[in-house]
Structures are given as C-alpha cells and as structure tokens.
C-alpha cells in the first residue's frame, strides 16, 4: 500500500512540473499604449509613428487590443528603440509627432525609432480623456493650444533630476528654441512652452519632487495669469 501511494505521489509531482497553469498576471507591456484604426481595418495594432496607421485612430492598451483580437503590425513592430542617453539636467533636440493633451506630447528622439511620450514638468493642464472625469473644463482649449504650438515641430527637451515617472513617460521642460541661459527669466517666458501654458492660463502649477527647478517662477507665472483673467482664470466653469 505504501509503495502504491509513493507511486501516485511521484506521478502527481511530475504532472505539476509539466502542466502550464493559467495566470492573470498583467505585465508592464500589457499596459503599454498602442493605436488601432476606428474601423478596425486589418485587425492590427500600431505604435504611434507607424506609417501604416491611417485614418481615425483609437488609443488603447496592448492588453485591450489583444482581447479584441488585434495582432501587432509587422511594420512598426520592427522599429528599434532609440539609443539616446537621457541623463538629469541634459538637453535633447527632438521632433514632436503627436499631441496627447495640453501637457502631454509624443516625440521622436531619433529617426525611424520608436517614439517616447513626454509629460511636461511643473504644470497640470485640464484632461480631455480621463477615464473617470472625461473632458475637463478648458481641456479642449489647452489641447488645441499645444497642438497649434508644437505638433510637427522640432523642440528641445530639458530634463530635471527625475527623467521618468512611474508610467515610464519622460518628464521634461519643452523649449521651442534652444536656450542660451536656462535660468534667465526673460528666456523662460519667451521660449519655454511649460511657462507659456501657465502665462496664458492653459494650465496650473503642479510641482512633484524632485523636479522643482522652476517651481517658484511657475507660481509667479500662474499668479500673473490669474490676476489678468487669462485662459481658464477668465472663464467660469459651466455646470
């Protein structure tokens, strides 16, 4: 009897080793954002600068795309990662390829490489596609302003102490012209897009440590916009 039980135990142990049990674990890649066409044509999902992505586009995660039966595009799947070494306090010349909303953009650091999403430091513009809050007051205006100012343009990204957030996005100050003196207030007002959003009332100050190089100046810019009734400060939110 003992011998029989030993044999059964060994068989169960062997089965446990070879059986591939299902798992519901979601990886970081599953949460990565991709794009599909609104019509669902081709049943492929694409990265943001894929030349095969045409027409109206819908932004979803890889996990959602796979659940709906979409498979990776063969063209953009082969795009290599960029080799740019991004360090704190560095400055990089990039091309803006898409606007997500008033304070978030997508850039190409090197030609024919996978793009990076960039969240502007020190500010917070109203949302236009928040999963709970939807389109926030003055969100469309802020997004349109950023689109008109930056889309398809070359800009300079300036990094602070922390170069990425917990979502993997780059965190940067965006300069529309290369600064001569990064701490000169006149240059910041004229050339830094983060500052322009505040000065024109399209965003509010949001300081998240350790990225606070221009925090005091940004508070002053917001105060000016509020006193002058610019942008969201000059409008009353409608119920």
- Owning domain of residue 166: 91-232
CA distance 110 to 49: 12
Give the residue numbers marked as catalytic. Answer: 119, 127, 169
State pLDDT tens for residues 134-165.
Answer: 788 899 999 999 999 999 999 999 999 999 99
Supply the pTM of this predicted model: 0.71
Dihedral (Cα; 177, 179, 183, 184), 10-degree rounding: -80
If asked whether residues 116 and 159 sit together in one domain, one would say yes
Question: Span 84-94, mean pLDDT?
Answer: 94
If asked whether residues 54 and 118 sit together in one domain, one would say no
pLDDT of residue 27: 39
State pLDDT tens for residues 180-214.
Answer: 999 999 999 999 999 999 999 999 999 999 999 99
CA distance 28 to 114: 17
- Token pair in block for residue 108: 């190409």
Under 8 Å between Cβ of 88 and 159: yes
Question: Span 42-58, mean pLDDT?
Answer: 71
Helix (H, G, I), strand (E, B) or coil at 51: coil
pLDDT of residue 79: 63
If asked whether residues 75 and 186 sit together in one domain, one would say no
Return the residue matching tokens 């240059």: 187
* CA distances in angstroms from 155 to 85, 97, 136, 143, 174, listed in the order given: 17, 11, 27, 17, 7
pLDDT of residue 15: 44
If asked whether residues 123 and 160 sit together in one domain, one would say yes
Helix (H, G, I), strand (E, B) or coil at 76: helix
More confident residue, 137 or 72: 137
Residue 237 lies inside a defined structural domain of this protein: no
If asked whether residues 195 and 95 sit together in one domain, one would say yes
Residue 62 lies inside a defined structural domain of this protein: yes
Strand partners, 230: none
If asked whether residues 170 and 202 sit together in one domain, one would say yes
Q: Using a pLDDT cut of 70, give the percent of the chain over it.
A: 75
Residue 14 lies inside a defined structural domain of this protein: no
For the chain, the domain total comes to 2
Q: Which CATH number fits the domain that encloses residue 162? A: 2.40.50.90
Residue 8 lies inside a defined structural domain of this protein: no
If asked whether residues 214 and 132 sit together in one domain, one would say yes
* CA distances in angstroms from 45 to 15, 52, 103, 104, 107, listed in the order given: 37, 10, 25, 21, 19
Instruction: Determine which helix (DSSP H) or strand (DSSP E) holds 203, and give its type and residue range.
Output: none
Under 8 Å between Cβ of 105 and 146: yes
């Amino acid at each position: 009897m003992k011998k029989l039980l030993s044999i059964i135990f060994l068989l169960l142990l062997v089965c446990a080793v070879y059986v591939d049990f299902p798992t519901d674990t979601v990886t970081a890649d599953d949460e990565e954002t991709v794009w599909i066409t609104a019509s669902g044509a081709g049943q492929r999902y694409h990265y943001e600068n894929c030349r095969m992505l045409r027409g109206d586009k819908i932004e979803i995660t890889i996990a959602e795309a796979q659940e709906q039966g979409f498979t990776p595009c063969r063209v953009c799947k082969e795009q290599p990662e960029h080799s740019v070494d991004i360090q704190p306090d560095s400055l990089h010349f990039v091309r803006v390829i898409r606007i997500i909303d008033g304070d978030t953009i997508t850039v190409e650091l090197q030609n024919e490489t996978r793009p990076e999403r960039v969240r502007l430091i020190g500010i917070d513009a109203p949302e236009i596609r928040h999963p709970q809050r939807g389109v926030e007051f003055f969100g469309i205006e802020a997004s349109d302003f950023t689109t008109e100012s930056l889309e398809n343009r070359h800009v300079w990204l300036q990094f602070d102490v922390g170069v990425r957030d917990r979502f993997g996005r780059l965190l940067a100050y965006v300069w529309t012209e290369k600064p001569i003196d990064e701490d000169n207030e006149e240059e910041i007002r004229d050339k830094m897009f983060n500052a322009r959003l505040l000065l024109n009332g399209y965003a509010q100050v949001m300081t998240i440590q350790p990225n606070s190089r221009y925090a005091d100046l940004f508070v002053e810019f917001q105060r000016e916009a509020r006193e002058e009734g610019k942008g969201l400060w000059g409008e009353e939110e409608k119920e």
